[in-house]
């Protein structure tokens, strides 16, 4: 764990500004990580991510295991070299993807047997297998194998939480690489006593960071924030907290208000492919006829490449013509918007102005959930 220390350099209320040190560079928190499921951020090159000053990206253990295979990635020098990215990478454990395969998987106390959605072949994930795959991939932050249960089934969440804890112990025992930080994952559905129990259990283990899983999977926003508050009150102050799969602007602000440090989500690139642009006041659907002759950029205040060079009218033209460039330009803008938001939150935490900023932001923001946020 000597490679993975966390320094808190500013606070306001529960919100923190910090630095998480990794072998591939420092992660300044709060941070948003774009998701590159298949070892690529969809429609965006690594050079464009560098220009955006993205600092952390996420890739998916389950998908890379199936294609091209974690052993091939290891033979090619690891995920950083394979995808041409020399900044920090986080890989998830595959637990959420297995949860999503309800019709083609079977869970038992030892692990999960599932059918590949690519070719129908059968596979087996155990905690040890998940760690071995992630060690082959070589990300800086890796995740314990967990079970993400439906949020409202209490009996199943009790069994799932116990299984997640047992699997986390097995992951700790299986891990061999000192240059990777293994995060545990809190589960427990929408049940405060289970969330409290899981947070206490994870806090007692030697994880350099702790994630909160099983949220933003169908529960209400009020339930999300209530569960988050229960968990954050228990987690250690000196370790980063990672809220998995959350990435709309208003959710980032609400998460930071409650003490979250790390976020990831497919939302900015998925919205881009659905012709939607994120701004700090809401979303624009650029396929709308109202933008046919609009000479303005997506956001006149934005300094991203897209807004500095192109009009809403041009973007709408690309969308209607089904040009690939539309997804690239909108992805650049959407990722930039979220990265700018977390940087703004960091600076206002350090300056002591975050509470006022968050209040004004949430009062002005008009959210509109257009597409699902999970899986890209």
Residue 360 confidence class, pLDDT cut points 50, 70, 90: very high
List of residues 6+ apart from 73 with CB closer than 8 A: 39, 64, 79, 82, 136, 137, 138
Q: Where are the domains of the chain?
A: 6-266, 272-364
* pLDDT at 357 > cutoff 60: yes
* pLDDT at 217 > cutoff 60: yes
**Under CATH, which architecture does the 6-266 domain have?**
Alpha-Beta Barrel (3.20)
| pLDDT at position 97 | 80
Pick the catalytic residue from 70, 146, 261, 264.
264
Catalytic-residue membership of 7: no
| pLDDT at position 1 | 55
Catalytic-residue membership of 92: yes
| pLDDT at position 100 | 77
Pick the catalytic residue from 92, 140, 146, 376.
92
Instruction: Please count the other Cβ atoms lying within 10 Å of the Cβ belonging to residue 54.
Output: 23
Q: pLDDT per residue over 21-40, tens digit each? A: 999 999 999 999 999 999 99
The model's pTM: 0.96
The answer to whether the beta carbons of residues 128 and 170 sit under 8 Å apart is: yes
Residue 104 confidence class, pLDDT cut points 50, 70, 90: confident
Rounded to whole angstroms, the Cα distance separating 297 from 314 reads 9
């Amino acid at each position: 764990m000597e490679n993975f220390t966390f320094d808190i350099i500013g606070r306001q209320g529960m919100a923190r500004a910090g630095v998480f040190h990794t072998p591939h560079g420092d992660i300044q928190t709060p941070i948003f990580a774009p998701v590159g499921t298949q070892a690529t951020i969809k429609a965006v090159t690594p050079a464009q991510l560098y220009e955006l000053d993205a600092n952390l990206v996420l890739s998916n253990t389950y998908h890379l295991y199936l294609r091209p295979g974690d052993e091939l990635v290891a033979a090619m020098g690891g995920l950083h070299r394979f995808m041409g990215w020399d900044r920090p990478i986080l890989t998830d454990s595959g637990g959420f993807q297995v949860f999503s395969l309800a019709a083609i998987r079977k869970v038992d106390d030892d692990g999960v047997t599932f059918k590949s959605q690519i070719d129908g072949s059968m596979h087996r994930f155990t905690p040890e297998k998940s760690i071995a795959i992630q060690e082959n991939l070589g990300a800086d932050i890796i995740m314990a194998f967990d079970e993400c249960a439906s949020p409202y089934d209490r009996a199943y969440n009790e069994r799932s939480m116990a299984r997640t804890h047992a699997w986390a112990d097995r992951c700790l025992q299986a891990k061999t690489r000192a240059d990777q930080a293994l995060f545990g994952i809190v589960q427990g559905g929408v049940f405060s006593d289970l969330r409290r129990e899981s947070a206490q259990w994870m806090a007692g283990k030697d994880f350099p960071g702790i994630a909160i899983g099983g949220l933003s999977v169908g529960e209400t926003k009020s339930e999300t924030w209530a569960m988050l508050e229960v968990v954050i009150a228990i987690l250690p102050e000196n370790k980063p907290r990672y809220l998995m799969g959350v990435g709309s602007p208003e959710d980032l602000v609400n998460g930071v208000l409650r003490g979250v440090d790390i976020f990831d989500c497919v939302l900015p690139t998925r919205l881009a492919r659905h012709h939607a642009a994120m701004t700090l006041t809401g979303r624009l659907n650029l396929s709308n006829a109202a933008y046919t002759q609009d000479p303005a950029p997506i956001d006149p205040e934005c300094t991203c490449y897209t807004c500095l060079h192109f009009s809403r009218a041009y973007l709408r033209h690309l969308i209607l013509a089904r040009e690939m460039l539309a997804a690239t330009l909108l992805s650049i803008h959407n990722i930039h918007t979220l990265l700018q938001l977390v940087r703004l939150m960091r600076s206002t935490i350090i300056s002591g102005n975050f509470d006022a900023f968050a209040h004004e932001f949430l009062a002005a923001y008009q959210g509109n959930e257009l597409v699902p946020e999970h899986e890209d």
